[in-house]
């Protein structure tokens, strides 16, 4: 055995706390090691060439690189050794940066530990054997989960490139949060004017199938070959017949909360969320329907010209196959009522969220674009009033550790500036508009200029400081806060207060992540594979991210990311066959006792009963199905299964080597 050990300095990232040169020299004493070298930057071109040169000149048959985490550069170095003619799986990394130099300060200690980690890697590499990747056929259809602007963009890009795309949307229409917006910053473009044509493009594209009012029930399989169960929720309306005429909604006698209008208006028990909905199909909210609740009514059935109402409709399950999955499930608005009791917990009618205000500003919204005080709306003998003083408060559920949201929501500074401008535009320039802020984050193209415009051109008054309390007094909302620049208490009698509610992970995000086997952070946002190098991929091969489900994002970033993700999917599916990891389980059939425990525990269905020539049955792992988790290995009662690349012997040898000092 001829092992080469290469110890990286990573500039001073490693060398500051680890004596790379010294431990490289010492590694020469380890069993099987015939060559050692310390390299300033091992991942650089000269560094990789040095490894390849040593493999050729010293005839190395195994390589250990002691550098950063294998999550960082294992793939890089496997390619390096393969380039020199060595099997890429005869390679092991010792993580002496993330797990050593970066967490210790003392150089002798750091060096000692780094040396131990190299010993372990050398012990492991001695146990490795050459492995060869298998190939599987690839299904070229793509599933896009979520039909907001991210999902729409990804679906259109993929469909344009010729792939078949299925968009699964949990609401009855695609469009997502962007469909609720009135205008978009910093251009004050009409949101619907940009979005709805894209929605129609989606529905008319020959390569796109939209499954609205549907959710992901189960995901099985692996990259290139996912099997997904989709639940089509019962809408109580036969969508093949429904023509979207809205007659049912007009005649329905039962009121229901209007989620699309963020609850500032009511809709009917049978409803279509908005006029430009795609698909434009009605659905019954069973909890509010008189027929379902009281057993009489059936008005919608009588008025429907298409005979589409079907009170007996049940959820339907559809199974489909895909090669790749794009997750674009977006975000929710932070539920401020549950957290900000000093702002009235939602009991003060004239304190509303940013998205509620957005619906009010919208010409197709419940007030037809008129800005009104909610306390004066919908009452007998009271003429709805326009507010004369409007106060915006920033960072509601953002940058606030006391409500468990220390992160910045990215969009609120800008949407508040937009809404402040629109307030002046809708109500009149004489309206007093105040914005309480912590810092203004105007980082995007044209953003800083936009905020400046709000301040100078529209005269919006920005007050740096937090509002401590909101309460009702003599028909006004008292705003009590601090101007930290003047160092003074401020009190404003407001007619309307708009809270810039931040972005929170979508309801059900963690459950979906568990179905997909992808990671998520403590806030419920999905975790990318690497924040800089693999920002569009998840750690589960074949599953990609787009939009605010990954982190709070504005529309330009979301769309850019969605297109980037589509390109990633195209790159993956451009191949007809995919190489599968050869680091999988293998059965020693001579020792198999046919207990089938492995079949019981495998989450993927990889082990199967194989008939041998003598008519007996033994376990056999289907190579292209096995994902290499090793559950069966730890379960087999006779230890006849081993995991290539993570063999039992290699685990034990690492432990033994490091403990025998």
The footprint of another protein (CB under 8 A) covers 19, 21-23, 26, 69-72, 95, 97-100, 102-109, 111-113, 115-117, 120, 513-514, 517, 519-522, 527, 539-540, 583, 601, 603-604, 627-631, 633-635, 643, 646, 648, 651-652, 654-656, 658-661
Give bridge partners of residue 268 from the DSSP assignment. 255
At residue 524, φ and ψ (nearest 5 deg) are 95, 5
- Give the Cα separation of 530 and 545 in Å (integer): 12
Instruction: Give least dist CB 142 to another protein, A.
Output: 22
Cα atoms found within 13 Å of the Cα of residue 30, Cβ hemisphere only: 30
Query: Which residue number, 467 or 632, has a Cβ lying nearer to another protein?
Result: 632
Residue 431 or 654: the one with the smaller Cβ distance to another protein is: 654
Q: Which two tokens stand for residue 134?
A: 């298998």
If the CB atoms of residues 465 and 647 are measured against another protein, the closer one turns out to be 647
Q: Write the DSSP assignment of 337-401 as a string of letters.
A: GGT-GGGTTT-STTEEEHHHHHHHHSTTSTTTT----GGGTT-TT-PPPPPSEEEEEEEESSSBG
Report the residue number, 499 or 585, with the smaller CB distance to another protein.
585
Please, what is the minimum distance in Å from the beta carbon of residue 514 to another protein? 5
Question: Exposed, middle or buried by CB within 10 Å (0-12, 13-18, 19+), for 621?
Answer: buried
The residue (of 203 and 517) whose beta carbon lies closer to another protein is 517
Smallest gap from Cβ 226 to another protein, in A, equals 13
Closest to 542 (Cα-Cα) out of 565, 561, 523: 565
CB of 551 to another protein, least distance (A): 11
Structure tokens at 286: 């069973």
Listed residue (143, 157, 162, 161) closest to 209, CA to CA: 143
Give rounded-to-5 percent helix, strand, coil for the chain. Answer: 30, 25, 45
**What's the min distance (Å) between Cβ of 526 and another protein?**
10
**Choice between 122 and 289, CB closer to another protein:** 122
Separation in Å, CA 593 to CA 151, 588, 628: 49, 10, 22
Q: Which is nearer to another protein, 95 or 367 (CB)?
A: 95
Residue 449: CB minimum distance to another protein, A: 35
Between residues 493 and 507, which has the closer beta carbon with respect to another protein? Answer: 507
The first and second tokens of residue 512, run together, are 């979906």
Residues ≥6 apart with Cβ < 8 Å to 13: 97, 101, 102
Shortest distance, position 168 Cβ to another protein, whole Å: 20
Q: At what angle do helices 648-659 and 107-127 cross, to 10 degrees?
A: 150
Which DSSP helix (H) or strand (E) runs through 24? helix 20-27
DSSP-assigned letter for residue 506: P
Nearer to another protein, 91 or 520 (CB): 520
46/603 with CB nearer another protein: 603
Please, which residues bridge with residue 237 across strands? 309
Contact 563, 345 (CB under 8 A): no
- Shortest distance, position 652 Cβ to another protein, whole Å: 6
Q: Are strands 331-333 and 503-505 parallel, antiparallel or unpaired?
A: antiparallel
CA–CA dist 598, 16 (Å, integer):
47
Least spacing, CB of residue 116 vs another protein, in Å: 6
Least separation in angstroms between residue 426's CB and another protein is 42
Nearer residue to another protein within complex by CB, 223 or 513: 513
Non-local (6+) Cβ contacts of 459 within 8 A are 424, 429, 433
Smaller CB distance to another protein: residue 561 or 627?
627
């Amino acid at each position: 055995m001829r092992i080469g050990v290469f110890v990286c300095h990573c500039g001073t990232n490693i060398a500051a706390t680890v004596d790379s040169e010294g431990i490289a020299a010492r590694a020469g004493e380890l069993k099987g090691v015939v060559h050692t070298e310390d390299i300033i930057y091992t991942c650089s071109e000269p560094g990789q060439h040095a490894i390849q040169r040593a493999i050729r000149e010293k005839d190395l048959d195994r390589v250990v690189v002691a550098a950063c985490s294998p999550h960082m550069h294992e793939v890089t170095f496997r390619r390096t050794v393969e380039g020199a003619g060595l099997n890429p799986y005869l390679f092991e990394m010792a993580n002496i940066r993330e797990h050593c130099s970066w967490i210790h300060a003392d150089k002798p200690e750091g060096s000692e530990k780094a040396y131990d980690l190299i010993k372990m890697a050398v012990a492991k590499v001695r146990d490795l054997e050459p492995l060869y990747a298998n190939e599987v056929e690839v299904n070229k259809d793509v599933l896009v989960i979520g039909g907001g602007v991210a999902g729409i963009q990804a679906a259109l890009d993929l469909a344009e490139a010729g792939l078949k795309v299925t968009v699964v949307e949990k609401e009855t229409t695609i469009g997502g949060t962007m469909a609720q917006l009135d205008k978009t910053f910093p251009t004050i473009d009409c949101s619907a004017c940009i979005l709805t044509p894209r929605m129609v493009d989606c529905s008319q594209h020959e390569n796109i199938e939209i499954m609205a009012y549907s959710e992901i029930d189960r995901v099985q399989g692996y990259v290139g070959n996912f099997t997904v169960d989709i639940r089509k929720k019962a809408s109580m309306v036969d969508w093949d017949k429904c023509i979207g005429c809205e007659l049912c909604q007009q005649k329905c006698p039962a009121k229901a909360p209007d989620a699309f209008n963020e609850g500032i208006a009511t809709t009917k028990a049978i409803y279509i969320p908005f006029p430009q909905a795609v698909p434009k199909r009605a659905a019954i909210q069973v909890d509010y329907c008189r027929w379902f609740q009281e057993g009489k009514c059936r008005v919608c059935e009588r008025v429907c010209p298409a005979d589409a109402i079907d009170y007996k409709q049940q959820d339907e399950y559809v199974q489909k196959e895909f090669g790749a999955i794009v997750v674009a499930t977006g975000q929710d608005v932070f539920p401020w009522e549950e957290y900000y009791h000093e702002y009235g917990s939602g009991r003060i009618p004239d304190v509303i969220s940013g998205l509620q205000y957005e619906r009010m500003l919208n010409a197709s919204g419940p007030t037809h674009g008129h800005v009104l005080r909610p306390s004066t709306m919908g009452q007998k003998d009271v003429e709805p009033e326009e507010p004369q003083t409007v106060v915006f408060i920033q960072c509601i559920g953002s940058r606030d550790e006391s409500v468990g949201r220390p992160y910045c929501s990215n969009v609120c500074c800008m949407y508040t500036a937009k809404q402040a401008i629109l307030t002046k535009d809708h109500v009149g320039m004489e309206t007093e508009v105040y914005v309480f802020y912590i810092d203004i984050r105007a980082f995007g193209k044209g953003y800083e200029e936009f905020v400046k415009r709000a301040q100078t051109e529209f005269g919006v008054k920005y007050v740096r400081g937090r509002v401590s309390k909101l309460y009702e007094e003599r028909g006004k909302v008292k705003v009590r806060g601090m101007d930290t620049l003047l160092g003074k208490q401020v009190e404003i009698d407001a007619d309307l207060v708009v809270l810039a509610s931040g972005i929170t992970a979508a309801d059900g995000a963690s459950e979906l992540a568990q179905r997909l086997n992808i990671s998520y952070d403590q806030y419920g946002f999905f975790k990318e594979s690497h924040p800089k190098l693999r920002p569009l991929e998840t750690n589960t091969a074949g599953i990609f991210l787009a939009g605010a489900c990954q982190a709070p994002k504005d529309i330009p970033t979301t769309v850019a990311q969605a297109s980037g993700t589509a390109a990633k999917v195209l790159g993956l599916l451009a191949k007809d066959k995919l190489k599968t990891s050869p680091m999988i389980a293998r059965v020693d059939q001579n020792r198999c006792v046919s207990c089938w425990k492995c079949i019981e525990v495998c989450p993927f269905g990889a082990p199967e009963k194989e008939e041998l020539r003598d008519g007996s049955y033994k376990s056999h792992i289907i190579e292209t199905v096995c994902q290499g988790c090793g559950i069966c290995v730890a379960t087999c009662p006779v230890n006849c299964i081993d995991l290539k690349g993570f063999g039992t012997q290699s685990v034990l040898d690492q432990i033994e080597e490091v403990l025998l000092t």
